[in-house]
């Protein structure tokens, strides 16, 4: 028999609390930072970091987390120049979504 455990319910109508969304946003930001670092000349290509970024970003969106939460995490993790690099290296659809998140004001 399988048992499912759901944590962090409620808060934003998605089944995830804002706190859980912030955790996922932090993971997206960590992968984004790694991806940019590897793109800028690290020892290996950014592919693995991209797959991590993509997976966490999809979970973040699927749970309908607030874009401002992601924008905040990315602004804290990446300085402006690296955010610009991230937007440049992402596929167009992802880049547009990340750009929208970055334009949202800081959550209160």
The pLDDT, as a whole number, for residue 106 is 65
**Tens of each residue's pLDDT in the chain, 108 residues:** 333 333 444 444 557 899 999 999 999 999 999 999 888 876 667 788 899 999 999 999 999 899 999 999 999 999 999 999 999 999 999 999 999 999 987 665
* Nearby residues of 78 by Cβ (< 8 Å), 6 or more positions away: 29, 32, 33, 36, 86
The pLDDT, as a whole number, for residue 47 is 82
The pLDDT, as a whole number, for residue 108 is 56
The pLDDT, as a whole number, for residue 13 is 52
pTM (two decimals): 0.80
């Amino acid at each position: 028999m399988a048992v499912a455990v759901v944590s962090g319910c409620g808060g934003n109508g998605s089944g995830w609390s804002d706190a859980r969304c912030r955790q996922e946003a932090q993971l997206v930001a960590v992968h984004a930072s790694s991806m940019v670092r590897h793109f800028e000349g690290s020892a290996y290509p950014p592919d693995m970091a991209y797959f991590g970024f993509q997976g966490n970003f999809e979970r973040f969106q699927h749970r309908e987390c607030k874009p401002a939460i992601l924008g905040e995490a990315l602004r804290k993790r990446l300085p402006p120049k690296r955010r610009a690099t991230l937007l440049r290296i992402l596929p167009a659809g992802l880049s547009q979504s990340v750009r929208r998140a970055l334009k949202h004001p800081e959550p209160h």
